Structure 1
Amino acid sequence: MAMSFDPFSELDRLTGDLLQFRPGPRFMPVDLYRDQDQYILTADLPGVDPGSVDVDVDGQLLTVRANRTAAAHENAKWLTQERPHGTYLRQFSLGDGVDSSRISASYDNGVLSVHIPVSEKAKPRKIQVTSAPQSDEAKSISV
């Protein structure tokens, strides 16, 4: 039986394992898409206490922070401890096309959802095209 070896997938696996245990803010996977007149950002934060989730806007910078505390078991002899804990942090530049005063967020079953409305000035709109009335000179030329 022949087995194939993909060095890139193996490198991705090893890199992911190493980055998981690095000090500092943890990686927070997100999805971001536009649905009609709003952007929706969803972030996976399993096991995070909802009280530790912080979403704030400073100018055009949206910051999402959360904290997952380590399991505290007295007299435990750990055999393996792979679930990451610590601070999660992501920042996003909003740009001028959003209404930052109406951003809302909710946290349900380990998923943070942030709704970012599109500003009125950035919404697509139809521009009416008018025609100028023809002058007497233009009327005589077109005959």
Structure 2
Amino acid sequence: MPLDQLFRIASTVVLVGWLALALAPLKRPAMVTTARLVAALLCGGYVAIVGHALATGPAPSGASFMTLDGIASLFSSRTALLGGWVHYLAFDLWVGSWEVEDAPRARVPHWLLLICLVLTFLAGPAGLLLYLLVKAARRR
């Protein structure tokens, strides 16, 4: 399957998980489970993409996890770039599912959680940081 098509599929499928999280107050456990199933599906896609990349040839010249230039070389491959994108989709969704699961215990209202989820969707670590700050502020 062409990489562009895999990109579109992954980028669309992940929206099902985020929609479930946005609708979490309706049936929180079921919505968290839905999001986590989508994340698991994306994890399977990631493994398939990376497995395919490893099986079809050597890494680009200079590819390494040890230097910034090595990372740049690694992601010069469209297959590796797609793998990285799917990695982000899966992990950000998983973090969002944790935020939704944790919010009732942390007494974070859903309207405020939605802001954290949007930021987690768009800029994962920034959204997680916002959630952790909101959670800490709600404890006081």
Give the TM-score, by structure 1 length.
Answer: 0.26
Which is greater in Rg?
Answer: 1
- The structure that is strand-richer by fraction is 1
Instruction: Select the structure that is richer in helix.
Output: 2
